[in-house]
Amino acid sequence: MATTTTSQTNILGHPRGLVVLAGTELWDRISFSGMQAILVLYMVEQLFAPGHPANVAGFAWVKAAIEGVFDDLTTQGLATQIFGLYVGFSYLTPLFGGLVGDRWLGRRRAVMLGALLMTAGHFCMAFEASFLLALALIILGAGFLRGNLAPQVAELYAPEDSRRATAFQVYASMVAIGAFVSPLITGWLSQAYDWHVAFTFAGFGMLAGLIWYAAGQSFLPPGDVVVAQSASEPLTKREWRALLALASLVPFCTLFWVAQAQIWNSYNLWVRDHVDLAVGGWTVPVPWLQAFDGLSPLLALPLLLLWWKRREQAGVRSDEIVRMAIGCFIFAAGVLLLAASDRVVNDQGKVLLIMPIAFHLISNVGWLYFSPNANSLFTGAAPRGTRGTMVGIYTLSYFFGSVISGRLGSLYEHWPPADFWLLHAALVGAAGVALMGVASWVHRMTRRATSDGPVGSELAGPLPEPIA
């Protein structure tokens, strides 16, 4: 139920609670993305170096468990697999954290608990011994915080309030801003000082988010636990067909997220090993390219909105699945640039910095085509009363994509870089072909011959989080 009052609506025409929630999300992303940008490099270059794994509590057991599933792994292979599992579970636990907030804790208490757990986890990253404990705390905390923070944005507005669309755009922009700012800071700290100083910064970032959220409690929706008492009406056969059609898209969405997740995983190792990072007499920190990945959507979005608007005025329309397929093709083209980078090198055989920069610009255009439209499809085509469930089903593609990317990351040190990136380009390109192939069938099953709104309107809803 909306709780907005006239007196609250005095910050650019929106409730003050939006500032509280968006600010909390920003600090969450600053801490989470900052750690994520350096995590693989930290494991490869220090934590798993000879003499260090013995310091990590529970390392032998976790290594044996992972290798029991994925066979023996090298240091780099183990690092990329742990990273994939960490990110994957960070996007899986919000499904359960939201349920706990709905039925037992209430949203406010769940967010506070999640922020506390994540703060403790980030500070635990400052010590080698508590590395695995830190990952577990952050994963669990992300479930409580993210599963209950975003729903409060919707609860600030009445169902018919048109400001909700803009509110979610503001909220979603915090993800990109955090992904831009934090790798700059943690990348510099890890290079100028050491890894643990950078991880400590991430801990203070999440602590700041907790304080910000706690200070703004009076502007938030009530945090009472609300459990639906009435049973939902049974779904019709047509509605079940729509759910089946949407669920069948999850494997294709997974292929997109496999390639996307790799950009925060083995990509850092590729940059370290093959890219000329020297600018004048200074070396660009590897994580700074991750910062550019966060900046690129902010740069590309205004131009895309103008393009979509002009196409709409020209009478050219396309549905969400077609746009998702286009996004896959554009992303694949960006990954092909990485595969071809060994042809654009300096005298020392290092890839010129312009190649990864061009990749980030192109791939994020693909992300803007794919990710918001996937969210629009899974919410708009799902029968009423099942939309939250279908968003959860779609989120499974994040989880599987991250885990698979971790497994494929172990190929990086055995394959030529060109072949490694060609594989990922092929996977995301194949997803585009498959989406085009099933588009007509999905239309029939969901009875959505065209999208519900004008071209570009898919960006009005909440953007799914990137693997960032």
| Between residues 224 and 147, the one the model is more confident about | 147
Q: Which tens digits make up the pLDDT trace of 61-78? A: 999 999 999 889 999 999
Q: Which tens digits make up the pLDDT trace of 235-275? A: 888 889 989 999 999 999 999 999 999 999 999 999 999 99
| Closest by Cα among 411, 397, 130 to 251 | 397
Q: Is the pLDDT of residue 289 over 60?
A: yes
In a domain, 8, yes or no: no
List the CATH number of the domain containing 84.
Answer: 1.20.1250.20
In a domain, 467, yes or no: no
Nearest 5 degrees, angle CA 219-CA 160-CA 143? 50
User: Are 159 and 262 contained in the same domain?
Assistant: no
pLDDT of residue 451: 38
Mean pLDDT of 366-370: 91
pLDDT of residue 339: 97
Reading the block at residue 183, the tokens are 């790798």
Phi, psi (rounded to 5 degrees) for 265:
-115, -100
**Which amino acid is it at 120?**
A
In a domain, 39, yes or no: yes
Beta partners for residue 282, in sequence order? 279
In a domain, 468, yes or no: no
pLDDT of residue 236: 87
Confidence of residue 224 (pLDDT cuts 50, 70, 90): low
In a domain, 74, yes or no: yes
pLDDT of residue 432: 98
Q: Which tens digits make up the pLDDT trace of 106-137? A: 889 999 999 999 999 999 999 999 999 999 99
Q: Is the pLDDT of residue 455 over 50?
A: no
Reading the block at residue 168, the tokens are 């979610």
Q: Is the pLDDT of residue 463 over 60?
A: no
Most confident stretch, 89-93, 154-158, 168-172: 89-93
Which of 4-13, 99-108, 174-183, 184-193 is predicted with the least confidence, judged by mean pLDDT? 4-13
User: Are 220 and 245 contained in the same domain?
Assistant: no
Full residue range of the structural domain in which residue 433 is found: 237-449
User: Are 286 and 250 contained in the same domain?
Assistant: yes
For the chain, what percent of residues have pLDDT higher than 90? 64
In a domain, 389, yes or no: yes
In a domain, 232, yes or no: no
User: Are 85 and 205 contained in the same domain?
Assistant: yes
Q: Which tens digits make up the pLDDT trace of 395-445? A: 899 999 999 999 999 999 999 999 999 999 999 999 999 999 999 999 889
| Closest by Cα among 349, 351, 330, 331 to 340 | 351
User: Are 351 and 208 contained in the same domain?
Assistant: no
Boundary (domain end) residue, out of 166, 197, 225: 225
Q: Which tens digits make up the pLDDT trace of 200-211? A: 999 999 999 999
pLDDT of residue 8: 53
Boundary (domain end) residue, out of 174, 190, 225: 225
Mean pLDDT of the chain: 88
User: Are 257 and 381 contained in the same domain?
Assistant: yes
* Number of domains present in the structure of the chain: 2
pLDDT of residue 448: 57
User: Are 165 and 248 contained in the same domain?
Assistant: no
Owner of token pair 């029991």: 68
Q: Which tens digits make up the pLDDT trace of 304-359? A: 888 888 887 888 776 789 999 999 999 999 999 999 999 999 999 999 999 999 99
User: Are 25 and 144 contained in the same domain?
Assistant: yes
In a domain, 312, yes or no: yes
User: Are 131 and 271 contained in the same domain?
Assistant: no
What is d(CA 413, CA 332) in angstroms, rounded to the nearest whole number? 22
User: Are 245 and 349 contained in the same domain?
Assistant: yes
Q: Is the pLDDT of residue 233 over 60?
A: yes
What is d(CA 278, CA 220) in angstroms, rounded to the nearest whole number? 47
pTM: 0.87
pLDDT of residue 320: 85
User: Are 437 and 324 contained in the same domain?
Assistant: yes
Reading the block at residue 215, the tokens are 């200070």
Phi, psi (rounded to 5 degrees) for 299:
-75, -35
User: Are 182 and 311 contained in the same domain?
Assistant: no
Q: Is the pLDDT of residue 7 over 80?
A: no
pLDDT of residue 424: 98
pLDDT of residue 65: 96
**Distant-in-sequence contacts of 353-358, Cβ < 8 A, 24+ apart:** 353/275, 353/276, 353/277, 353/279, 353/284, 355/275, 356/271, 356/275, 356/289, 357/289, 357/292, 358/334
